[in-house]
């Protein structure tokens, strides 16, 4: 027995051997600065909590409701719990597995006294992790758990971004309806003016018909815009986890909070700020551990087994009599598997190669998303400035055209033409404003916005803000 204990201690001491490669992050060339070039600064808009960027109270209320009730949030939370349980299952293999059993049997035959026997047993099995298979398995499941947590954080920031973008799109549609109604009213007034002059014999039927056609053309777009508003409200309701219905409005699109210059932070910090990149790396860590598991399968499994039991014809004497025990060490390993283990190992390496390529692709794509959002936000500011000047000029031209027409200094074509050109200019200004707000949302998401928030700031929105 003493020798057996020494062997057990020796095997446990050798348990520090772990086959397979230890994880090392792939070497990647990270840019020194984002493109287009901007001033290098450690601060980033991603350091802001979402409520400091989206300041409209109605929008904040919608985001809070979505974080509580959204279906994707619930699914992500369930997957985190699944991964947590899987990690717990893997961790259990560090410990001895103990079971029990009990039995009752009877015997009766002619000329033989009837007998009833009671039995019990406790059994134990424990794998000695000599090659690190169990350690690699735990490393794999921990990585998958961490990945699920990062995926969950990615769902949170994506949901915040989706709600904000949909809300801005809804406000843009509201503005377009208002412009269409105002423009339609303007054409209606022009038509009334032309019609009055026509009835007085001072204008032609062509003027009246042209003004009526322009009026009807603009008014016809209002029902379609209202249809889009209903569809957008339904989409927002789905994000909120509720049935379709009206969505409350707050500030207008042009009054929404924005920044003239956005701090983007250092490119080297993006790997720790973006939850999807962290999740992709944890998948790579898990795949790396999978290589170690597959390699450990080539080696024998060494385990300890034990048994404690007893049998007695009397229930009261079950423990005191007939007790037996046994302890054994077992070794089992493969000799011929028809290439199964070799191909499992090749499969695990291919999985690692896939995970590495996916991680590197995600990192490269992330820098592209930041660059695209930065460029959009910067350049759209110029578009908004120029388009605002255009709208102001068209408004002045409509005013002057009406004065000239009423004074007999210009034809009806000048009035209608001025109104026709002002309408798309106003609509274009709304779209530019929307695109810049969406670029801000995309940039916040691309930089990993809210990366330093605690889980409770997401799962219990409103408690900390």
Hey, where are the domains in the chain?
17-94+131-298+338-459, 98-128+300-333
Amino acid 160: pLDDT: 98
- Indicate the SS3 state at residue 449: coil
Residues whose CB is less than 8 angstroms from the CB of residue 339 and which lie 6 or more positions away in sequence, other chains included: none
Amino acid 4: pLDDT: 47
Amino acid 374: pLDDT: 94
User: Which range among 30-44, 236-250, 361-375 shows the weakest confidence by mean pLDDT?
Assistant: 30-44
Please give the CATH superfamily to which domain 98-128+300-333 belongs: Outer membrane efflux proteins (OEP) (2.20.200.10)
Nearest to 445 by CA among 70, 146, 44, 143: 44
- Could you name the CATH architecture of 17-94+131-298+338-459? Up-down Bundle (1.20)
Report how far apart, in Å, the C-alpha atoms of 50 and of each of 53, 56, 157, 317, 417 are: 5, 11, 9, 71, 45
Over 80: is that where the pLDDT of 110 sits? no
Rounded CA-CA distance 54/387 in Å is: 25
Amino acid 292: pLDDT: 96
Residues whose CB is less than 8 angstroms from the CB of residue 425 and which lie 6 or more positions away in sequence, other chains included: 387, 390, 391, 394
Rounded CA-CA distance 131/64 in Å is: 49
Encode pLDDT of 147-188 as tens digits.
Answer: 999 999 999 999 999 999 999 999 999 999 999 999 998 888
User: Which range among 65-69, 257-261, 351-355, 404-408 shows the weakest confidence by mean pLDDT?
Assistant: 404-408
Residues whose CB is less than 8 angstroms from the CB of residue 312 and which lie 6 or more positions away in sequence, other chains included: 117, 118, 119, 318, 321, 322
Report how far apart, in Å, the C-alpha atoms of 37 and of each of 32, 34, 65, 371, 438 are: 10, 6, 38, 9, 21
Number of Cβ within a 10 Å radius of residue 172: 22
Amino acid 119: pLDDT: 80
Encode pLDDT of 329-384 as tens digits.
Answer: 888 999 999 999 999 999 999 999 999 999 999 999 999 999 999 999 999 999 99
Rounded CA-CA distance 141/92 in Å is: 12
DSSP code of residue 267: G
Mean pLDDT, residues 419-429: 91
The DSSP string of 139-167 is: HHHHHHHHHHHHHHHHHHHHHHHHHHHHH
Encode pLDDT of 270-304 as tens digits.
Answer: 999 999 999 999 999 999 999 999 999 999 999 99
Amino acid 288: pLDDT: 97
Rounded CA-CA distance 222/57 in Å is: 28
Encode pLDDT of 409-421 as tens digits.
Answer: 776 677 777 888 8
């Amino acid at each position: 027995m003493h020798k057996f204990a020494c062997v057990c201690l020796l095997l446990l001491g050798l348990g520090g051997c772990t086959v397979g490669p230890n994880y090392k992050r792939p070497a990647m060339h990270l840019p020194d600065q984002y493109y287009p070039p901007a001033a290098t600064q450690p601060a980033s808009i991603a350091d802001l909590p979402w409520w400091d960027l989206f300041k409209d109270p109605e929008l904040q209320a919608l985001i809070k409701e979505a974080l509580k009730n959204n279906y994707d949030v619930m699914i992500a939370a369930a997957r985190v719990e699944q991964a947590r349980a899987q990690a717990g299952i893997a961790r259990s293999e560090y410990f001895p597995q103990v079971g029990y059993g009990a039995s009752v049997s009877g015997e009766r035959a002619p000329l033989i006294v009837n007998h009833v026997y009671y039995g019990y047993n406790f059994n134990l099995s424990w794998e000695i992790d000599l090659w690190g298979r169990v350690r690699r398995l735990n490393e794999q499941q921990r990585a998958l758990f961490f990945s699920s947590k990062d995926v969950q954080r990615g769902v949170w920031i994506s949901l915040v971004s989706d709600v904000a973008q949909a809300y801005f799109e809804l406000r843009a549609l509201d503005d377009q309806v208002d412009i269409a109604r105002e423009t339609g009213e303007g054409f209606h007034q022009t038509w009334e003016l032309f019609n009055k002059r026509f009835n007085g014999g001072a204008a032609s039927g062509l003027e009246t018909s042209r003004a009526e056609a322009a009026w009807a053309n603009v008014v016809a777009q209002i029902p379609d815009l209202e249809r889009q508003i209903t569809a957008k409200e339904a989409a927002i309701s789905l994000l909120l986890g509720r049935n379709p219905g009206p969505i409350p409005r707050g500030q207008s699109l042009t009054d929404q909070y924005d920044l003239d210059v956005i701090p983007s932070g250092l490119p080297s910090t993006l790997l720790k700020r973006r939850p999807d990149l962290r999740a992709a790396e944890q998948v790579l860590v898990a795949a790396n551990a999978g290589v170690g598991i597959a390699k450990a399968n080539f080696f024998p499994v060494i385990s300890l087994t034990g048994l404690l039991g007893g049998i007695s014809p009397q229930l009261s004497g079950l423990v005191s009599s007939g007790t037996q025990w046994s302890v054994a060490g077992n070794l089992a390993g493969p000799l011929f598997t028809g290439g199964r283990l070799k191909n499992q190992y090749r499969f695990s390496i291919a999985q690692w190669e896939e995970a590495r390529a996916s991680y590197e692709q995600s990192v490269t794509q992330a820098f592209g998303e930041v660059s695209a959002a930065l460029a959009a936000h910067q350049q759209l500011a110029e578009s908004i400035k120029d388009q605002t000047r255009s709208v102001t000029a068209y408004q002045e031209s409509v005013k002057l055209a009406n004065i000239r027409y009423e004074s007999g200094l210009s034809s009806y074509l000048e009035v209608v033409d001025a109104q026709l050109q002002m309408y798309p200019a106003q609509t274009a200004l709304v779209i530019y404003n929307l695109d810049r707000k969406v670029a801000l949302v995309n940039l916040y998401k691309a930089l990993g916005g809210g990366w330093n928030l605690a889980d409770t700031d997401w799962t219990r929105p409103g408690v900390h803000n």
